[in-house]
Amino acid sequence: MPIACYAIHRGEKQIWLRGLVGSPDGTQIIRDDISGSVNDAEALGIELAERLLQRGAGDILREVYENY
C-alpha cells in the first residue's frame, strides 16, 4: 500500500511537507502538501494528515485494514 511523507527544510525556519496515500492497486492516489515554521512541524504534520483523511485517505485505509 503506497503511503509516503517527505519533508524539506527550507532556509533556517521553514519546513515543507508532502504526504500521499494510495490504494493498493494504484487506482486512487491522494496527496497534499503544507509548509510553515519548523517550530510548528508536529502541528503541520497533524494538519497534513487530517487533510489527507478528509480527502479520502481514511476510506482507503479503512478498506485495506478491514480486508487485512
Residue 11 has pLDDT above 90, yes or no: no
Please tell me the total count of domains within the chain: 1
Q: Give the single-character DSSP code of 55.
A: I
Work out the burial of residue 59: count CB atoms within 10 Å of its CB; fewer than 13 is exposed, 13-18 middle, 19 or more buried.
Answer: middle
Contact of 48 with 17, CB cutoff 8 Å: yes
pLDDT at residue number 14: 97
Domain that holds residue 60: 3-66
Q: Which residue has the cell 504534520?
A: 45
| pLDDT score, position 65 | 79
Q: Average pLDDT over the chain, rounded to whole? A: 92
pLDDT of residue 49: 95
Q: What is the pTM of this model?
A: 0.86
Place of cell 494538519: 47
* Per-residue pLDDT at 22: 94
Residue 45 sits in a domain whose CATH number is 3.30.160.40
CA distances to 17, 20, 29, 39, 65 from 33, rounded to whole Å, are 5, 9, 14, 17, 25
Q: Is pLDDT at 33 greater than 90 in this prediction?
A: yes
Residue 40 has pLDDT above 80, yes or no: yes
